[in-house]
Structure 1
Amino acid sequence: MACVHAGATDLRPPGPTQDVYREDCTQCFDSIDDEAGLNVCLHCFNGGCAGDRNHGLLHFQRFGHALALNIRRTPKKVQRDEPPQKMSKLAIAAETDEDRYNVATSVICYACPGENVDKNTGNIPVIIDGVMNAMSFTKREEVKAWEQEFVPCEHTLCLVQADTGDAGTKDLNQCSACDLKENLWICLECGNIACGRNQHGGARGNSHALAHADYTSHAVAVKLGSISVEGTADIYCYRCNEERTDPELANHLAHWGIHLAGRTKTEKSLMEMQVEHNMQWEFSMTSEDGRELLPIYGPGLTGLANLGNSCYLSSVMQCVFSTPAFQSRYYDPDGQPPPCQTPAQDLETQMRKLADGLLSGRYSRPDSRVAMSMASSEASSPIHQKGLLPAMFKHLIGKGHPEFKTMRQQDAFEFLLHLFKNVSLSKHLDGRANPVENFRFQVEQRLQCLVCEKVRYKVDVQDNISIAVPARRIAEVEGKFEAVQFSECLDIFTAKEVVELTCPACQSAAGFSKQTKFKTLPQELAVNARRFELVNWVPTKLDIPVIVSDDPIDMVSYLAGQHDPNEELLPEVEEVVSFSPNSEALNQLLAMGFPVTRCEKALHATGNSDAEAAMTWLFSHMEDPDIDEPMVLDQKSGSQSSAGQDESQIAQLGEMGIEPSRAQKALAATNGDVERAVDWVFTHPDDGDEAMGNDGNAEVAQTYGPVGYDTVPARYQLRSIVCHKGTSVHAGHYVAFIRKTRASDQSSSWVLFNDEKVVECDKVDDMKQTAYLYFLTRV
């Protein structure tokens, strides 16, 4: 008997913008490449695995969607790929599957087990055609070919050029401000010739073109050596701080006596230099004796394939899921996925999927396709994993974020903060703990007037620290720096400094002594090492070795300790009438690309002292919900009335484990913004609430308990590191090194996670010295 469901008239093919999950399961990493294949729901186009886990059947049981298209893909026998062509543009070429795989399809009905479903019934042929020809979710969101595109701006479109004057006598071969004869740029507005920025690994420069733009406010310049007869060239708008295009480039150049006819491109373009530069940042995959490191497999040893520029995400997630808190929270091998009709859009589901993929060992195996191609050749290179494609997770975690939603390389530390924020804002039901709590601790800031010696204490909750690495150049070797002990960086972080503030008690303007120490310490400590300095107003990464021991680090000396009972506290100031930021520090922060509102907030929070302290604060508060809101100085936080609050908002915060009284105060302090309210709760653990009465705070303290540990011993050992190679955190390459325990003898070794490549390594010391993120665990 034929299936009665196949002729349903409400079945429709996917729309042009509808997501079709036809590559891997939305609830695990089983895919169309597995023997059982993948079942794509013909009602909502969810992808469910058809093997032993059978999430396709679970989807039917939960939502009653009976019909599914089973897709199975098997590799064709092909010779091993030729070496890839040299990359010459910022693009990822989209591969076609037709020459690589055989694809088989069939229609099944979960409601009619055992019945054959004719693929020619009703609308089925049209729907199958729609599914197979639709752009898959992965292609649509992550892996589709992309290329950095440049567009005109108002400054190129509305360019006004000065009179030519002596244009014919201009020397186009030398900077007007120095002796450089390369990396020259012409200002399209006035015809000035000046050198560009120093290009790492490329042409030298003294930034005279930038200085000219700053002095004259002229926006558009063209790199002379990049001009080709076809009319292409590097065009930079200093006002937009972006590379642009100019539809009238030929005419604008001719105005200054430069004609495209006969022009020959003599220098690499900015794009070519960036691509070539990024390709240089490879991490060694060989041992100290020159042997290629062999891949290893097993639970907790699964790699993540690179989606184009996703190594920042992969390295952070490998380190995060090496912690017991994240493992116990999201890895549930015997549990069912949460009931959700759109699992690809559910953070809980995608975090569980990623945890299962990385930790179960189910997908930690040699790439069968490479093994097949090697079997037909004489090659004997190690066979690495295929790696899991974290496309669904990347799309979801980056959704709505101006940077993480793109395919561009990003800062791994900023991504860690973004991840922590989203995990904290998500629901943690069924008694499941927020794993970010294991990273949280309290820092205590102590201010003491240099004249009257009265003090003030302020306690903040953080889930990371950003430490400055001092740069001490070795005079006889260019680009080399003295090694710095990790403990010295912590000493600097907790050292006393003098800040310029007026004392509210004695009215002295002599300043304050400020010191920040740990009031408590977390179970897991995330540390960002800042190795940057301003070179021609551009933040440039420095290769400063930081020595971190394998032995536990004693953190007791960095704890704040008990307050002196005899010291006198400064009076509370109800109002701050105005704030004038340190102009020099503000200009330095603005030159680094931080928005003015963030800069002013950072300077205000750090005593208006210097750019370095403010930058440390900025890195620690990148993901604050109100980071971009104007600073309000004429009222105290929490002074608003809690009357008239939305009960649904209080209930929403209650689902996150926040008591109603606490939720009321948080919403009052943040003008009813739920995201900011959650952040307020975590950053004000000891804040009292006069409206609640004296017992309210005791209830909160009992509910949440202390943040972190104030007990000794306080010893921390390095668990994992995120390493970065490149001159900017927004370029180059990230990898992770994680300390793993061998099941055989309980000894530990370091494992390198380089995208999909997972190998045991024996020379981690160099990597520890140049790490960007350190994850230490309390032992």
Structure 2
Amino acid sequence: MDFELTVRNAMEAGNFEKPTPDQKIFKDQCAYCFKDPHYKDGLFINLKNYHAFCREHAEIYANHTGNTLFVQYSSKKVVVEERVDGEPTSKMTKLTIDADPKYEFEDKYSVVIHPNYNQQFNNVQSVEDIAEAIQTIANCTSAERLALLSSTSNAWDADIKLITKHANLDQQDNGKRLALSGWRCEAEDCGLDENLWVNLTDGAIRCGRSQFVAEGQKTNGNGHMQEYFAATGYPLVVKLGTISSNLESVDVYSYDEDDAVIDPNLEKHLIHFGLDPAKLEKTAKSTLEMELDMNEKWEWAKCTEDGAVLEPVYGPGYTGLINTGSSCYLNSVLQALIEVKSFRTRYSDGALETLLNCPIDTIHNDFNAQFAKVVLAMLSGDYSSETDPTHNNIKPLQFKRVAAGNHPEFSTAKQQDVEEYIRFLFEKISTNSKNEVIDPTDSLRFQTWNRFEDVATQKVRYTEQEEVILRLPIPELQAVLQPIPDTEGRFSVDMNVAIRSFFDTQFVDGYKSPITGEQKGATNTVSMKTFPDYLLFQVSKFAYTNQGVQKKLDVEFEVIEDLDLSAYRGHGKKENEESLPEETQPVPAVPEIPASVRAVAGELIMMGFGENSCYRAAYYSNGNAEVATNWLMEHTEDSDINDPFVMPSGTPSARGEVDPALVASIVEMGFTAHQAKYALKQAPNVTEAVDWLFTNMDSIPLETAATGTSSDAPEPSATEAANQKTFKDGSEKYKLIGMISHMGSRPDSGHYVAHMLKDGKWVLFNDEKVALSQDPPKKLAYIYLYKRVD
């Protein structure tokens, strides 16, 4: 009775709020850590705001806020006893689907008041408001579950094929009708009965090229269909044996698009020659399946150390991260970042301060709080115990959501390019790092010098550029790639060669001197201005096909574990160098120029080209950097190349008008009308506008409710943000401490794992699996992390 009075007194003192009909109730996980109701002591749900805490953090929170009244909620799994009447064994239970024997979660609720957690009040019915609150807690769907249900993410981890441009292919009406089996290559003196393809233009059957399917094993094939395409120009072919009623699995290839494609009219095209998919069954592997068998499975086995008996490792810093839907790219990045001292200082050492200073009603959507919660858990050892395997690993689902925000790619459950995510995450961290708080990305951020020299006059221009990853462009080293014996299409490259190539002087052909008018070209040289505490390298082993689709090169990287970059330090303009003057006719500040065009023009300007020519090249290439560079080289002789650039008046961007039909097309893809209109003002057509949206979603101004127009509230420019960043500088010597490896044919599909050097041993982090590595795949990594050696 005394305790009931104490409860009533606590309620009257302002420690209780009756839950409203739309009250969000958090009961699945502690607000400050990853403990749930199944841990010892369960969770303590605060009756002032209905947020949950574990025992440790309930005490900290109560001392910090004075909110002392809690409902202790614990849940344990018990075997269901068979009942003749079929009634549940407890009225407050949640039935789960499980293998036999069947289990129930038995829930228990009681009231406690800080600091007397061992004194419980169970006669809740005598305090009506408390009883109703507990009943609401028991019956409600948790706020965490509601957030999950409202998520629109869809997991899809496969390669993305393009829709062929030959969807409306002109097929010959030659009367040819093919049998449903018994095919042979129609090329003279061939007659192969396997690896056969049918040409959808005229129905010709030819064999494909020979392919490796395993070490030392190749398919039969003489490449007669490729020869047929070269002779006829008929582009679209289908692999016989893959045709079935499941049209998505049919192997369609386009020779002039140089890729596997989707043919939306495939059934019609096949039936034209008598091949009815409904009457055929799949009897052969597709090209993609064979490539996966040969390359990805081999690479997968290497990177995950498949087949080796790996010793699990436990303790602080060895916490596994559960995959929440193609989130291995995020998991791998987090495992790498906790090895960076500034990240541990900011998000682990300062975690409690960050969490306590964050208002409880915003903590679940606060970036800094969620990042601190994850890093603190990873380094605590609380979720990596050999003696308590039931509570190992954490699921950083809320952090993934909060970090991604409304980004059109990272907010989905699709696989992503880990390099792109690192750049995105670092900008997010910097944006959420106030002046008085450490920005942990400063430890990895560095500056480079770009030295541009006009060959005609030897005058130079120096520009600075900020980076977080040193990207090694392997596709540009085709001439120095060394074939690996007994393999087909697999090469190796020395890290020294790749780094030296990055810093080598590049000749800019066709550059016209703004001083003499001579077209003698220019040179551009990159050097390091600062050397960060930690340095990230990306081995850019992905090349683009003719259709702009990334494909992976089979490249092994001969890694240098102890790296000295002293030779690549730059020192800026020397006393005996003369400056190349700025353009005499600077580009006018025209706000109508699309952001994508401005961005590409900026890249070209940094190479030393004139501003007006750069904007012109970027515009006519639809904001594509590679195309813009080629365009510039081809138009250096144009008489107006350096004239002031103004957006053509006929473009939607210049007129401020947007075609409603184009808006409707983009809206159908899942974007809002406001997003579509804004994107179409940055790009001239639907394709470019959608591409712009995928990379610039965060830069779209908010739409005001009153007018339906963009808010005029200015946001910090990229230049202003860069000016606020600081750069570490020190020794040029580094040691390899981590790697992120990719398995798959594209960076936005497949799987990522991390290998980190911890306590002198390499450790594999494969999502929730953490084990000592026996053979770290140093030659196959995509991202390398180095630490400065002083």
TM-score range, shorter chain: 0.5 to 0.7
The residue identity in structure 2 corresponding to 1:449 is D
Question: C-alpha separation between the residues in 1 aligned to 2:603 and 2:202?
Answer: 38
Q: Which residue does the alignment assign to 1:165?
A: 174
1:512-546 CA-partner distances (Å, limit 9, x unpaired): 01101011221221111122445777543334333
Distance 1:478 1:272, change over 3 A: closer
Question: C-alpha separation between the residues in 1 aligned to 2:440 and 2:42?
Answer: 34
1:647-668 CA-partner distances (Å, limit 9, x unpaired): xxxxxxxxxxxxxxxxxxxx9x
Does residue 348 of structure 2 align to residue 348 of structure 1? no
1:222-270 CA-partner distances (Å, limit 9, x unpaired): 6543332577653869899997686x86555433322245312123468
What is the aligned counterpart of 1:772 among 776, 782, 788?
782
Shift of 1:726: 3.2
1:56-455 matches, within 5 Å, as 58=61, 70-74=73-77, 96=97, 102-109=104-111, 114-116=120-122, 117-118=124-125, 121-122=131-132, 125=135, 128-131=138-141, 135=145, 137-138=147-148, 141=151, 164-168=173-177, 173=183, 224-229=240-245, 233-234=249-250, 253-260=270-277, 262-268=279-285, 281-283=300-302, 292-331=309-348, 332=350, 335=353, 336-340=355-359, 341-366=361-386, 368=388, 386-428=392-434, 431-455=436-460
Question: C-alpha separation between the residues in 2 aligned to 1:171 and 1:310?
Answer: 43
Question: C-alpha separation between the residues in 2 aligned to 1:199 and 1:342?
Answer: 56
1:608-664 CA-partner distances (Å, limit 9, x unpaired): 9999x967999xxxxxxxxxxxxx9849xxxxxxxxxxxxxxxxxxxxxxxxxxxxx
Shift of 1:445: 0.6
Give 3-state SS (helix, strand or coil) of 1:516's partner: strand
Question: C-alpha separation between the residues in 1 aligned to 2:200 and 2:333?
Answer: 44
What is the aligned counterpart of 1:490 among 499, 516, 519?
499
Checking the alignment, whether the CA contact within 8 Å between 2:251 and 2:286 is kept in structure 1 is no
Shift of 1:458: 1.0
Question: C-alpha separation between the residues in 1 aligned to 2:608 and 2:227?
Answer: 31
Checking the alignment, whether the CA contact within 8 Å between 1:278 and 1:731 is kept in structure 2 is no
What is the aligned counterpart of 1:680 among 703, 710, 719?
719
Give 3-state SS (helix, strand or coil) of 1:544's partner: strand
Give 3-state SS (helix, strand or coil) of 2:778's partner: helix
What is the aligned counterpart of 1:38 among 27, 38, 43?
43
The residue identity in structure 1 corresponding to 2:358 is P
Unaligned runs of 5+ in 2: 81-95, 589-595, 630-642, 647-700, 702-709
1:338-382 CA-partner distances (Å, limit 9, x unpaired): 323132211111110111111111211138467xxxxxxxxxxxx
What is the aligned counterpart of 1:24 among 25, 29, 32?
29
Shift of 1:58: 3.2
1:601-680 matches, within 5 Å, as 606=607, 634=645, 677=716, 679-680=718-719
Give 3-state SS (helix, strand or coil) of 1:282's partner: helix
Question: C-alpha separation between the residues in 1 aligned to 2:399 and 2:773?
Answer: 28
**More displaced, 417-426 or 257-266?**
257-266
The residue identity in structure 2 corresponding to 1:293 is L
Shift of 1:411: 1.4
Checking the alignment, whether the CA contact within 8 Å between 2:442 and 2:726 is kept in structure 1 is no
Distance 1:543 1:400, change over 3 A: same
Q: Which residue does the alignment assign to 2:738?
A: 720
Shift of 1:71: 4.4
Distance 1:162 1:418, change over 3 A: same
The residue identity in structure 2 corresponding to 1:488 is V
What is the aligned counterpart of 1:520 among 523, 530, 536?
530
Distance 1:207 1:347, change over 3 A: farther
Give 3-state SS (helix, strand or coil) of 1:456's partner: strand
The residue identity in structure 2 corresponding to 1:447 is F
Question: C-alpha separation between the residues in 2 aligned to 1:49 and 1:211?
Answer: 69
Identity fraction in percent: 25
Checking the alignment, whether the CA contact within 8 Å between 1:37 and 1:73 is kept in structure 2 is no
The residue identity in structure 2 corresponding to 1:395 is R
Checking the alignment, whether the CA contact within 8 Å between 2:178 and 2:275 is kept in structure 1 is no
Checking the alignment, whether the CA contact within 8 Å between 1:13 and 1:131 is kept in structure 2 is no
Question: C-alpha separation between the residues in 2 aligned to 1:73 and 1:616?
Answer: 61
Q: Which residue does the alignment assign to 2:763?
A: 751
Checking the alignment, whether the CA contact within 8 Å between 2:482 and 2:492 is kept in structure 1 is no
Shift of 1:174: 7.0
1:110-166 CA-partner distances (Å, limit 9, x unpaired): 67984333499558646633327994645764999879799999999x968756333
Unaligned runs of 5+ in 1: 78-94, 371-384, 579-594, 619-631, 636-666, 686-703, 742-747
Q: How many residues align?
A: 642
Q: Which residue does the alignment assign to 1:548?
A: 559
Q: Which residue does the alignment assign to 2:670?
A: none
Checking the alignment, whether the CA contact within 8 Å between 1:425 and 1:678 is kept in structure 2 is no
Checking the alignment, whether the CA contact within 8 Å between 2:453 and 2:460 is kept in structure 1 is yes
Shift of 1:457: 0.9
Checking the alignment, whether the CA contact within 8 Å between 1:228 and 1:263 is kept in structure 2 is yes
Does residue 772 of structure 2 align to residue 760 of structure 1? yes
Question: C-alpha separation between the residues in 2 aligned to 1:724 and 1:411?
Answer: 9
Distance 1:328 1:241, change over 3 A: same
Q: Which residue does the alignment assign to 2:88?
A: none
Question: C-alpha separation between the residues in 2 aligned to 1:123 and 1:556?
Answer: 66
Give 3-state SS (helix, strand or coil) of 2:719's partner: helix
Normalising by structure 2, report the TM-score.
0.67
Checking the alignment, whether the CA contact within 8 Å between 2:310 and 2:774 is kept in structure 1 is no
Checking the alignment, whether the CA contact within 8 Å between 2:156 and 2:415 is kept in structure 1 is no
Give 3-state SS (helix, strand or coil) of 1:58's partner: helix
Checking the alignment, whether the CA contact within 8 Å between 1:444 and 1:457 is kept in structure 2 is yes
The residue identity in structure 2 corresponding to 1:759 is A
The residue identity in structure 1 corresponding to 2:378 is L
Give 3-state SS (helix, strand or coil) of 2:412's partner: coil
Distance 1:293 1:601, change over 3 A: same
Shift of 1:75: 7.4
Checking the alignment, whether the CA contact within 8 Å between 1:11 and 1:43 is kept in structure 2 is no
> Computing the radius of gyration over CA atoms, which structure comes out larger, 1 or 2?
2
Question: C-alpha separation between the residues in 2 aligned to 1:106 and 1:197?
Answer: 67
Distance 1:409 1:564, change over 3 A: same
Question: C-alpha separation between the residues in 2 aligned to 1:352 and 1:706?
Answer: 22
**More displaced, 20-29 or 63-72?**
63-72
Distance 1:285 1:677, change over 3 A: closer
Question: C-alpha separation between the residues in 2 aligned to 1:266 and 1:546?
Answer: 38
Alignment RMSD (CA, Å): 5.3
Distance 1:390 1:217, change over 3 A: farther
Checking the alignment, whether the CA contact within 8 Å between 2:161 and 2:260 is kept in structure 1 is no
Question: C-alpha separation between the residues in 2 aligned to 1:343 and 1:228?
Answer: 52
Question: C-alpha separation between the residues in 1 aligned to 2:584 and 2:179?
Answer: 63
Question: C-alpha separation between the residues in 2 aligned to 1:97 and 1:144?
Answer: 25
